[in-house]
Amino acid sequence: MTGKSDTLVLEKVLTQSDFDAFAELSGDDNPIHVDPGFSARTRFGRTVSHGMLLATVLRGLLDELVPGGRLVEQKLMFPSPTYADEAMRFAVIRKSDDGRRVVADVN
């Protein structure tokens, strides 16, 4: 380890406006993310976040943990939905750092 912070945590509440803005920016306007009426009739019962919106928040934290770092590999899983107006906890944990390569867990 390097003596730098080994864990960064962000607690954030994403809103429907965040989902809508991400849809506008990304072009992903799937109704599961932006249409409450449609989403109410799905197994989720309401709109859910874009997975990549969540990944973007985590990428921002990773950049704070390793400024100027280059992302070489990532594996993404979205095992459960994230709903608007619910508190989320994002965390990036440095697992190893040999001065050249940093391995981190994000969740």
> The tokens of 102 are what?
């940093």
> The tokens of 29 are what?
């306007």
4: confidence class by pLDDT, cuts 50, 70, 90: low
d(CA 57, CA 12): 9
Q: Which residue has the higher pLDDT, 97 or 89?
A: 89
Q: Which residue has the higher pLDDT, 77 or 12?
A: 12
Of 19, 22, 45, the closest CA to residue 34 belongs to 19
Q: In this predicted model, what pLDDT tens digit does every residue of 11-68 receive, in sequence order?
A: 999 999 999 999 999 999 999 999 999 999 999 999 999 999 999 999 999 889 888 8
pTM of the model: 0.86
Phi, psi of 19 (to 5 degrees): -60, -45
| Residue 20 near residue 35, CB atoms below 8 Å | no
Q: In this predicted model, what pLDDT tens digit does every residue of 24-37 receive, in sequence order?
A: 999 999 999 999 99
